[in-house]
């Protein structure tokens, strides 16, 4: 792992529930020695990507991200477009809706919406990284990715997060074939226990897959009628968001639900 990769990997440990991280904890989370972590954090601090705060001098994300995020959003206001669609989708289904986008070989959540209809719901993290093999968003994205990208992802060690996580590349490839036929992916308990999610891919102006839109619900609430509602609304809003982003569906894409 190169120096830049090591430094960037440290940033992935920050999230909403862990906004500050001390040096020792960062070393434990990353598996790197403390001296290396300190050097990497010091270099990133000099560039504004992290800063120290509090009496314990813990690290948090720095102001450089505000500037970069503002530039990104000004150029491609994906989050604003997605948020409006997600609000409608969440209201229509009564469940958590979210959009994740490809960034290199990583799938990152960029927006989500909660419904007030139920006290129990699936929760999300800002900029949460989703795995490809055990989430509906990952499967929907992978199913319409180039073969070389699929080979690369499935050649990596595939984490078994729950007893329901599928890690056999052959079986995952068979699932991807089914997703390409229907246009929609499902995952039950593969990423989190007791979560049933559906997802559809999103496409750009060249009909290349750029991410996915999904609905996630507790498995206990997933009756046949509720599943049909989610699939119908997800299909409608996925096509809507692709159009709003200036994208086009690839030839042969399943626009309507199979009979």
Shared-domain flag, residues 147 and 202: yes
Shared-domain flag, residues 10 and 136: no
pLDDT, position 252: 82
- Both structure tokens of 202: 């999103």
Shared-domain flag, residues 49 and 80: no
The C-alpha atoms of residue 73 and residue 33 are separated, in whole angstroms, by: 36
Domain boundary among 40, 66, 92: 66
Shared-domain flag, residues 81 and 205: yes
250 occurs within a structural domain: no
Task: Provide the mean pLDDT of the chain.
Answer: 90
259 occurs within a structural domain: no
State pLDDT tens for residues 116-149. Answer: 898 899 998 877 889 999 999 999 999 999 999 9
Position 103 pLDDT exceeds 90: no
pLDDT, position 67: 80
Q: Band of the pLDDT at 72, cuts 50, 70, 90? A: low
Shared-domain flag, residues 25 and 117: no
Rounded to the nearest 10 degrees, the angle between the axes of helix 169-182 and helix 136-143 is: 80
Q: Which domain holds residue 101?
A: 76-244
- Both structure tokens of 230: 């989610």
DSSP class per residue in 218-234: EGGG--HHHHHHHHHHH
Residues 6+ apart with CB under 8 A from 32: 6, 40
pLDDT, position 78: 76
Shared-domain flag, residues 26 and 145: no
252 occurs within a structural domain: no
pLDDT, position 128: 85
Average the pLDDT over 220-245 and give the result. Answer: 95
Q: Band of the pLDDT at 197, cuts 50, 70, 90? A: very high
Q: Band of the pLDDT at 255, cuts 50, 70, 90? A: low
Q: Could you identify the residue written with the tokens 């929609």? A: 184
50 occurs within a structural domain: yes
pLDDT, position 16: 67
Query: Residue 108 class from Cβ within 10 Å (0-12 exposed, 13-18 middle, 19+ buried)?
Result: middle
Cα atoms found within 13 Å of the Cα of residue 138, Cβ hemisphere only: 23
Shared-domain flag, residues 54 and 90: no
- Both structure tokens of 80: 């604003």
Strand ranges for 20-152 from DSSP E: 50-53, 58-61, 96-103, 106-113, 129-130
Shared-domain flag, residues 127 and 18: no
Shared-domain flag, residues 14 and 46: yes
Q: Band of the pLDDT at 74, cuts 50, 70, 90? A: low
Shared-domain flag, residues 120 and 240: yes
Shared-domain flag, residues 33 and 117: no
State pLDDT tens for residues 147-179. Answer: 999 999 999 999 999 999 999 999 999 999 999
Q: Which range among 37-41, 210-214, 233-237, 247-251 shows the weakest confidence by mean pLDDT?
A: 247-251
CATH number at residue 61: 1.10.10.10
Report the C-alpha dihedral over residues 139, 140, 146, 149, rounded to 10 degrees: -30
Domain boundary among 66, 99, 120: 66
Q: Band of the pLDDT at 1, cuts 50, 70, 90? A: low
253 occurs within a structural domain: no
């Amino acid at each position: 792992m190169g120096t830049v990769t090591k430094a960037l990997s440290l940033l992935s440990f920050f999230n909403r529930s862990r906004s500050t991280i001390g040096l020792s904890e960062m070393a434990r989370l990353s598996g790197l020695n403390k001296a290396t972590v300190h050097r990497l954090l010091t270099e990133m601090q000099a560039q504004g990507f992290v800063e120290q705060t509090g009496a314990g001098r813990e690290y948090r994300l720095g102001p450089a991200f505000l500037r970069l995020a503002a530039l990104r959003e000004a150029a491609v206001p994906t989050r604003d477009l997605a948020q409006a669609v997600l609000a409608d989708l969440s209201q229509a289904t009564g469940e958590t809706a979210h959009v994740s986008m490809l960034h290199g070989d990583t799938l990152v959540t960029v927006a989500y919406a909660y419904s007030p209809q139920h006290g129990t719901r699936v929760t999300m993290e800002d900029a949460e990284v989703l795995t490809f093999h055990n989430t509906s968003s990952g499967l929907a994205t992978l199913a319409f990715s180039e073969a070389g990208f699929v080979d690369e992802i499935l050649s990596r060690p595939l984490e078994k997060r729950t007893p329901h996580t599928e890690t056999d590349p052959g079986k995952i490839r068979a699932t991807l074939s089914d997703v390409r036929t229907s246009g929609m992916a499902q995952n039950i308990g593969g990423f989190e226990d007791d979560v049933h999610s559906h997802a559809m891919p999103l496409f750009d102006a060249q009909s290349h897959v750029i991410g996915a839109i999904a609905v996630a619900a507790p498995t206990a609430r997933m009756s046949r009628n509720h599943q049909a509602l989610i699939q119908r609304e997800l299909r409608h809003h996925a096509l809507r968001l692709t159009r709003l982003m200036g994208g086009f569906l690839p030839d042969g894409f399943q626009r309507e639900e199979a009979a």
